[in-house]
Amino acid sequence: MGNLGMPELILILALALLLFGPKKLPEIGKQIGKALGEFKRTSNELKRTIEDEMDRATKDAPPAEPPPPGTPPAAEPPKPAGGSGSAQPS
């Protein structure tokens, strides 16, 4: 799909004029303009909402800090009962 040049635009406008007539063409243009404006407004609102949520998420979750030096490591999970766990069934 390339850019539309002047000849293509003239052809499209001539076809629209033939299909819809001179009385309907301004009404159609007005409706298309309203629809595009509403779409732009809605997409801007969605973008703003997403940005606000991202900002809120980054403010609520502080970055994880490493433990200070000299503190013992976190406790390991308990081992299963029944010995070392390396026994094989007979």
CB within 8 Å of 17: residues ≥ 6 apart: 25
Q: Which residue is it, tokens 């940005």? A: 51
pLDDT of 47? 97
70 vs 73: CA distance, rounded Å: 9
Cα–Cα nearest to 29, from 44, 8, 12, 43: 12
CA distance 63 to 61: 6
Phi, psi of 55 (to 5 degrees): -65, -45
Query: Tens-of-pLDDT digits for all 90 residues of the chain?
Result: 568 789 998 999 899 889 988 889 889 989 999 999 999 999 999 999 999 999 988 887 666 676 677 766 666 666 666 655 555 555
Residue 3: per-residue pLDDT: 82
Q: What pTM, to 2 d.p., does this model score?
A: 0.49
